[in-house]
Amino acid sequence: MKFGAITIKDIARELGISASAVSKALKDSYEISEKTKKLVLECAKKHNYQPNPMARSLKQGNSKALGIIIPTIDNNFFSQVINGVESVAYSKGYNIIMTQTHESYELELSNTDLLTIRAIDGLLISLSTETKDISHLKRLHDQGLPIVFFDRVSNEINTHKIIADNFRGAYEATTNLIKAGYRNIAHLTSSINVSITAERLKGYEQALEENGIPVKEHYIKYCPQGGKDVDEVQQALNELLDAPDKPDAIFTATDRVTTTTLALLHRMHVKIPTDIALLGFTNTQLADVLNPPLSQVFQPGFEMGKKATEMLIQLIEARRPVEEFETVVMPAQIFMRDSTKRP
């Protein structure tokens, strides 16, 4: 079934009234009772019926537009993902419509509604840090909209997913810190709601446990806004640096948390790595020219964007219903630089 394929006749059949009555109700005609209008509008909303030309082009399957929802574009990783998406979409004759949630669940809902009204053929999405309920996406998926998740994913919908190897990246990063001689390693991470948080936390904890280092709960700090709110990162750093057993290294779990942490440590006149070492997930291409050069876990953002788009277009253009889906896990790279060198 093509997403948005419900017609006026389908609504009429479900409600047991004529197609003419449905059409008039949708146009708010005086000939139709308020009770019937209400029933028609509720049914249309339930099935995502869009009585406009764009919806008709979607029904015919020829809008040639892909919707993309990302947390924020001022993030090195997501910028690289978008470049990967564009490299495939344009070559296949598709346009893209991009929206940002700015880590807001309400904006994610609004953006989803906006994109479906614009008659997209499929949706690429990385969930916001606030998103716990994905019923808005389940409804669209059940109606036939092809959806592919990337980076921040949900297992509540059976579809393709593209992620970095979050566990392995965090595990190897923490292991490298331990090999460099650090034992008191703190972990600054994102919202507990987000899939990458649990995967990276697990990698961090396993590396500590395998090396006989106890996991200290007060070393694990959550930043619900994913680094967008500077104050929450500042508070986490204050708590770590004021602790009696102050950590000698910090492993940060997201691009924005990493760059915000680096900036705040400089502002606090904390010397890196003399006072504290820093290693984190970040896709900045300036890591080796920062002061000091920053140790990083680098995700293949461009390749993830390409792969996600290829898989979404395959779903859109499939001649038969797709019943088997894949979770693609791409390797992350670790680069050790001066920010983690022992003084």
pLDDT tens track for 96-130: 999 999 999 999 999 999 998 877 999 999 999 99
**DSSP assignment, residue 37?**
H
Per-residue b or e along 310-328, where b marks 16 or more CB atoms closer than 10 Å to that residue's CB:
bbbbebbeeeeeeeeeeeb
Domain boundaries of the chain, sorted by first residue = 8-51, 58-164+301-330, 166-299+333-340
Measure the N-to-C terminal CA separation of the chain; round to a whole number of Å.
Answer: 62
5 pLDDT band, cuts 50/70/90, is low
- Could you please state the CATH topology (level 3) that the domain comprising 58-164+301-330 is classified under: Rossmann fold (3.40.50)
Sign of CA dihedral 74, 77, 79, 85: negative
| pLDDT score, position 22 | 87
Name the residue with tokens 């920062």. Answer: 290
Provide the pLDDT for residue 55.
Answer: 46
Average pLDDT over residues 242-269: 96
Q: Which helix (H) or strand (E) holds 312?
A: helix 301-317
Tens digit of each residue's pLDDT (9 = 90 or more) over 299-309: 999 999 999 99
* Cα distance between residue 71 and residue 51, in whole Å: 30
Beta-strand relationship, 333-335 and 295-298 = antiparallel
CA angle 325, 328, 334 (to 5 degrees): 170
Residue 343 has pLDDT above 60, yes or no: yes
The reply to whether domains 58-164+301-330 and 166-299+333-340 share a CATH topology is yes
Distance CA 270, CA 229 (A): 20
Phi-psi region for residue 4, left (φ > 0), alpha (ψ -120 to 50) or beta? left
What are the pLDDT digits (tens) for 12-44?
Answer: 888 899 888 888 888 888 888 998 989 988 888
pTM, entire model: 0.82
Cβ count within 10 A of residue 24: 17
Tokens of 70: 């990302």
pLDDT (average), residues 140-152: 94
Position 50 confidence tier, pLDDT thresholds 50, 70, 90: low
Report domain 166-299+333-340's class: alpha beta
